[in-house]
Structure 1
Amino acid sequence: MQGVSRTSLDEVIRRLDDILPSANTATLGHELFEVVALLEQEHSLRRWLADPAGSPDSKSALVSDLLEAKVSPATLLVANDVVRARWSASRDLVDAAEQAAVFATIAEHGSAQQLEGVEDELFRFGRIVAGQPELRVALTADGVPIEHKRTLVENLLSGKVGAATLALITEAATRPRGRTLEQGLDHFSQLVAERAKHYIAVVRTAVPMSEAQQSRLQAALTRTYGRDIHLNIEIAPEVVGGLSIRVGDEVIDGTIAGRIAEIRRRLAG
C-alpha cells in the first residue's frame, strides 16, 4: 500500500493493538477473516465502503447493522475502524481487514522467537504441499467444498502445528482471494515477519548448510537489508551449486543453474 492507504493501515493496526490485550484474540482473528470473506463476496458493498466520497458515519452505521448481532464487540470495533478510514482502492480496504485478522490470529505469540515458529510451520507446510501433488490438488481444486478442505487441513495438522498456524493454513486453503496456495502461505508468512519486525530470506541450496554457514549468511543479509533476517532453508538439488536467496520480491541468484540459465538467455538473445 502507498499514500493515504498506508497511513490508514498504520492507524488501523495501531488501534488494533489497543484492543488486543482485552480481546479473545482467536475469536477476533476468526471473525475478522469472516469479515474479509464478506467484503470479497459483496463487490458493491466493498466499493461503497471504500468510496472516499462516502460518509464515515454512514459506513460505520451500515457495518454495525450488518455485523452487530454476529460478531464480538472487539471485531465490530476493528471493522468500524477499517471502514471509517480512507483508502486509495477498495482492495486496500480488504487487505487491511485481512492484515488485522492475521495480527489478531498470531497475537498470543508475543515474542519474535514464537513468531518465527509460526513462520517455520507455514514454510514447512508449503514444502510438503510442493512435494505432494495429490495433496495440493485436494486443497486447491475448484468445486471441492470449503468444509471438505477445512476438514482435510484439520486432520492433517491438528496437534502437529500451533493453533495460529492451523488457522492461517486453513484460511489460505479455503479462501485464497485469487492467490495460489503457495502464494497465500507466503503472504501470511510475510505478514508474520512484519509483525516480528524482520524479513524472511528463502534460501535454496543443493546441500544442507551448517549452523555456522547459516549464521554468517544471516549476519550478512542483516547488514545488507538493515533489519533482522529469518532464514527459511530449502534443499533443492536442481540448483546444482551455490545459493539462491529471495527476500521479498528481490532474488539473489548465485547458483550454478542460475548462471547457466543466464548464459543461455544471452546466447538466445
Structure 2
Amino acid sequence: MTKKELQKKVSKLVRASFKDGRILELQVTRSIKVLKSLPRHEAIHGLSEYLKGIRRNERKHTLYIETVVPLSSAQIKKAKKMAEKKTEITKVLVSINPDIFGGFKLRTGDEVLDESILGKINQVKEVISG
C-alpha cells in the first residue's frame, strides 16, 4: 500500500469514528483492528496518523475557556452557545489563568477569540511597534 493510499484509508477511518462531533468507541476499536492487521511498518504509521486525526477532530469539537475567575454554569452555557454557531461542541474545558488579567479566551480547534486584557495589551503593542 502506498503512503497516499494509507493516508486516505486513515482519513476515512477517522471520519467514520465520529458522529455529530462525538467519538464512536466501537468504531474506534474496529479501526484500530483494521490498522493492526496491516504489515508492521504500515500499521505503526497508520496507527500514529489515526491517533493524530482523532485528537485533531476531538479538538475541533472541544471548547477551551480561559478566565481569571471561575465561571458560573450560565456563563459557560452562554460561551458554548456562542461557539456552537460555528461548530458543534461536545466537551467544554474551563481553566483559570491569572496571567490574562481579566476577560476571557475561547478556543475551538485552530480558532481563538481573545477578549482578555492581556490580549488587548498585546494588540496595542503590535499597533504601536508597527
Shorter-chain TM band? 0.5 to 0.7
Name the structure 2 match of 1:212: 74
Q: Percent identity?
A: 18
One-letter amino acid matched to 1:265: E
CA contact under 8 A between 2:11 and 2:53: conserved in structure 1? no
Distance 1:251 1:18, change over 3 A: closer
Q: Tell me, in whole angstroms, the C-alpha distance in 2 between the residues paired with 1:81 and 1:11.
A: 16
Looking at secondary structure, tell me which structure has more strand per residue. 2
Report the TM-score when normalising by structure 1: 0.35
Moved over 4 A (4+): 3-6, 11-14
Give the alignment partner of residue 228 of structure 1, picking from 89, 108, 116.
89
Name the structure 2 match of 1:268: 129
Report the TM-score when normalising by structure 2: 0.66
**Is 1:237 aligned with 2:98?**
yes
Looking at secondary structure, tell me which structure has more helix per residue. 1
Name the structure 1 match of 2:22: none
RMSD: 3.7
| SS of aligned partner of 1:223 | coil
Q: Which has the higher contact order (CA 8 A, sep 6+)?
A: 2
Q: Tell me, in whole angstroms, the C-alpha distance in 1 between the residues paired with 2:56 and 2:119.
A: 29
Q: Tell me, in whole angstroms, the C-alpha distance in 1 between the residues paired with 2:106 and 2:27.
A: 36
Name the structure 2 match of 1:97: 47
CA contact under 8 A between 2:56 and 2:109: conserved in structure 1? no
The correspondence of residues 183-194 of structure 1 with structure 2, limited to 5 A, is 190=55, 193=58
| SS of aligned partner of 1:228 | coil
Q: CA offsets, 1:155-194, max 9 Å, x none?
A: xxxxxxxxxxxxxxxxxxxxxxxxxxxxxxxx69835827
| SS of aligned partner of 2:107 | strand
Name the structure 1 match of 2:19: none
Distance 1:268 1:222, change over 3 A: same
Name the structure 1 match of 2:8: 7
Q: Give the length in aligned residue pairs.
A: 116
| SS of aligned partner of 1:224 | coil
